[in-house]
């Protein structure tokens, strides 16, 4: 059987009892290592779980998934995911591959950033479509996430922005080569994400003045860092101020709240206001 196990957001102790029991009886244990990170390293996980853990990078999971799947009916494989197993589409693909080979799959859920953002004080049912903000390059500067934020604002909904992570990403030049070369590891900060967003807003507002009412540099933003860790941080301020706010080490997330807040949301927000 393939066991896909959510680890939660913090450290080794966030694992569920059920998940820990499965890990300790598995023949092979993999840690997916490219969509998120924990506050501790692989060695700490191995000590707590009491077993060896293999790292599963993007290339292994997306291009060589058969190496992960159980080899026969007697083998049990645990595939560990930071957050919840269904927090990233790549894990759904792994499960579908297993089912196509008639391999039994069991999923153990855990906390995800999609639910943990409730710590911001914003009501979860008022979140609209979640967006991803990618790193820009000189010749690639996508802005579709802006349109989705505006769409959510029109419906008076909050927007969770997931920020780009680059872990063992091959360089474009090396993709066609036999030997892969990798870009340096990078984690987008809230200030980097907001700087890109402000640049798009500046360009868009020249075309559509109406959108200035929906979203502008004075609009409220919430920066979240290391949610679920002992040193998590949450800051609420204008987009303009957020562009120069340092929330420290990764991981970061960004929320663009709805235009109109519920009184309880506003009261909660006052706990995080950055003057």
pLDDT digits (tens, 9 = 90+) for 247-263: 999 999 999 999 999 99
How many degrees, rounded to 5, is the angle at CA 114 between CA 119 and CA 66?
145
In the chain, what percentage of residues exceed pLDDT 90? Answer: 73
128: left (phi over 0), alpha (psi -120 to 50) or beta: beta
Any idea which residue has 């992570």 for tokens? 165
The confidence score (pLDDT) of residue 179 equals 74
| pLDDT bracket for residue 224 (50, 70, 90) | very high
Q: Is 163 annotated as a binding residue?
A: yes
| pLDDT bracket for residue 88 (50, 70, 90) | confident
From the list 36, 32, 34, 40, the residue with the least C-alpha distance to 14 is 40
Q: Is 144 annotated as a binding residue?
A: no
Dist CA 29 CA 18 (whole Å): 15
Q: What mean pLDDT do residues 183-208 have?
A: 89
Q: Is 87 annotated as a binding residue?
A: yes
Say yes or no to pLDDT of 64 above 90. Answer: no
Q: Which residues pair with 146 in a beta bridge?
A: none
Say yes or no to pLDDT of 209 above 80. Answer: no
Q: Are 120 and 221 in contact (CB under 8 A)?
A: no
The confidence score (pLDDT) of residue 139 equals 85
Q: What mean pLDDT do residues 147-167 have?
A: 95
Q: Is 14 annotated as a binding residue?
A: no
- Label residues 247-270 b or e (16+ Cβ within 10 Å = b): beebbbbbbbbbbebeeebeebbe
Say yes or no to pLDDT of 205 above 80. Answer: no
Dist CA 123 CA 262 (whole Å): 9
How many CB atoms neighbour CB 273 within 10 A? 11
Sign of CA dihedral 43, 46, 52, 53: negative
> What domains can you pick out in the chain, each with its CATH number?
2-111 (3.40.1010.10), 114-271 (3.30.950.10)
**Both structure tokens of 130:** 């979640």
Q: What mean pLDDT do residues 11-16 have?
A: 95
Q: Is 112 annotated as a binding residue?
A: yes
From the list 64, 47, 44, 46, the residue with the least C-alpha distance to 56 is 64
pLDDT digits (tens, 9 = 90+) for 66-84: 899 999 889 999 999 999 9
Q: What is the pTM of this model?
A: 0.92
């Amino acid at each position: 059987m393939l066991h896909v196990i959510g680890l939660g957001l913090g450290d080794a102790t966030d694992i569920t009892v059920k998940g820990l029991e499965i890990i300790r009886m598995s023949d092979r244990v993999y840690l997916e290592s490219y969509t998120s990170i924990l506050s501790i390293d692989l060695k700490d996980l191995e000590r707590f779980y009491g077993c060896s853990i293999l790292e599963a990078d993007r290339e292994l999971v997306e291009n060589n998934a058969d190496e992960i799947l159980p080899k026969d009916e007697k083998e049990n494989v645990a595939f560990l995911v930071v957050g919840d197993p269904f927090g990233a589409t790549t894990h759904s693909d792994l499960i579908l591959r297993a089912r196509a080979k008639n391999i039994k799959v069991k999923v153990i859920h855990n906390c995800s950033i999609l639910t943990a953002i409730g710590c911001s004080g914003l009501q979860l049912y008022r979140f609209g479509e979640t967006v991803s903000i990618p790193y820009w390059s000189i010749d690639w500067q996508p802005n579709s996430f802006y349109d989705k934020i505006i769409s959510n604002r029109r419906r008076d909904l909050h927007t969770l922005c997931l920020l780009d992570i680059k872990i063992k990403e091959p360089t474009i030049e090396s993709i066609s080569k036999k030997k892969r070369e990798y870009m340096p590891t990078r984690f987008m900060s809230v200030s980097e994400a907001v700087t890109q967003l402000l640049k798009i807003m500046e360009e868009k507002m020249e075309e559509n003045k109406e959108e200035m009412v929906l979203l502008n540099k004075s609009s409220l933003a919430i920066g979240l860092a290391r949610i679920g860790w002992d040193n998590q941080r949450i800051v609420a301020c204008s987009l303009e101020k957020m562009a120069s706010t340092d929330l420290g080490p990764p991981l970061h997330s960004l929320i663009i709240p709805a235009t109109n807040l519920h009184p309880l949301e506003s009261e909660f927000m006052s706990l995080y206001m950055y003057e």
